[in-house]
Amino acid sequence: MDIFVKPPRQSAPELTMDNEVIDDADDFEVASTGLEPFSLQLDDIYQGERLDKVLATLLPQFSRARLQQWIEEGWVLVDGKPAKIRTTVLGGENISVEPQAADHDQAFVAEPLDLRIVHEDDALIIVNKPAGLVVHPAAGNWSGTLLNGLLHHSPQLMGVPRAGIVHRLDKDTSGLLVIAKTLKAQTDLVRQLQQRTVSRQYLALVWGQPVSSGRIEAAIGRHPRERTRMAISKSPQAKLAITHYQKVVSGQLDGRTVTLLRCQLETGRTHQIRVHLQSLGFPIVGDAVYGKAHLVSVFPRQALHAERLGLVHPISGTHTEWHAALPADMADLLQQAGMAV
């Protein structure tokens, strides 16, 4: 039986996602044992206690909530019969527990995915991520992520924290990402991100017509009421965020003015471009979270694409840049709006 073991911690700088420091301790629950069945005979000392509490004591590698779930689903038998969570132990019972894999046990499992690799060498992989692909495993998306595909493509990434991922794109944002293939390359890239020397340029189609160019400097933090959203914030926990934008061309979509902007990140906070542009009154077309609800149906995702990525190569020391053309869905959208790009 294959046993999943979380990769060991390594000496590395603090990793960032969109330049936000992530606590490595919050990664994933460690699957510290395999999924072989357990057979237990309860001692009399447990008499009078609840079954789920007793199992949590005898099988500490599993959370009590997880054990309760297995009891409810019939994977725990007492003397050959399905157990109940509130069963009171008498002592001497024979308990059979058949552990079931949790979704997050698959987080670091290699899976074959059709990765759109723009460039690869001994230090880096540059990926053109399609819209709809989640970058990193999290609740609701423990498998089928870019991380899973990277581990299949390059098994050595199992030995690099977060499989070499140092920054991310939202699920429904397309475009370029850099992956470090070695710990040394990852260390170098993290420092470049922290020093703001990595160049990241995006194309965003927004509702309305902003002035020709501008600079947005506004701190971003968690929305005070909706924790899955970000917002402009004056909270002490909010982080400095700076976005530069320049008008490319305007057009008409669904009878309304839309404008294509080229955005340059100076920082890289979660949802930064989406939040900053929405704060000016120019939400991104198709953005179901920060956009206008009655206009979301025009496009099935936020019309945001990471078109250009530049950095200093960790081995050669030379500045290198990559470009990813607009995906077909955004190109078609611009054509509908009468834009020639």
Confidence of residue 26 (pLDDT cuts 50, 70, 90): very low
d(C-alpha 113, C-alpha 106), whole Å: 15
**What tens digit of pLDDT does each residue of 288-334 get?**
999 977 777 789 999 999 999 999 999 999 999 999 999 999 999 99
pLDDT score recorded for residue 269: 93
The predicted pLDDT at position 104 comes to 57
Active site positions, annotated: 170
Q: In terms of pLDDT, which residue wins out, 260 or 19?
A: 260
pLDDT band at 105 (very low <50, low <70, confident <90, very high): low
Average pLDDT over residues 68-79: 92
pLDDT at 108: 80
Least confident of 53-57, 58-62, 88-92, 218-222: 58-62
**Lowest mean pLDDT: which of 19-23, 129-133, 242-246, 261-265?**
19-23
Asked if the model's pLDDT at residue 141 lies above 90, the reply is no
Q: Is the pLDDT of residue 14 over 90?
A: no
Whether the pLDDT of residue 338 is over 60: the answer is yes
User: What does the pLDDT average to over 68-78?
Assistant: 92
Q: Which of 2-11, 93-102, 197-206, 224-233 has the highest mean pLDDT?
A: 197-206
Percent of all residues in the chain with a pLDDT value above 70, rounded to a whole number: 87
Q: What is the mean pLDDT of residues 24-31?
A: 26
pLDDT at 35: 61
pLDDT of residue 24: 24
